[in-house]
Amino acid sequence: MEDTAIEPQVGRIVKVLRGREQEKYAVIVRIIDDRFVWIADGDKRKFDQPKKKNLLHLELLDHVSGEVADSIKETGRVTNGKLRYALNKYLESVQSEAHEKGD
């Protein structure tokens, strides 16, 4: 049996399933351990004050923002504008796919 589970990684876009920010999208900016990650969206939740979330409370999406991942890998941080841009780009691509399918 093939293991197709999506792994948490820096730059991965997630959907929040539990808590105050439920149904919102964010980006993983740091991995703490195999249960917890730090997330930020560049808007309400800035990079400098990310939210610690249990992975069980997140839906890991199959999209990773290369710009965010590269920026964090190279400089150890990412701008809030880049986080917002990555999320907007992802949401636009999802909406256009849904639109093409005739939703």
- The answer to whether 11 and 42 are in contact (CB under 8 A) is no
- Domain positions in the chain: 12-100
pTM for the model: 0.91
CATH class of the region 12-100: mainly beta
Confidence class for position 103, pLDDT limits 50, 70, 90: low
**Burial label, 49 (beta-carbon count in 10 A; 0-12, 13-18, 19+):** exposed
What would the pLDDT profile of 5-52 be if each residue is shown by its tens digit? 789 999 999 999 999 999 999 999 999 999 999 999 999 999 999 999
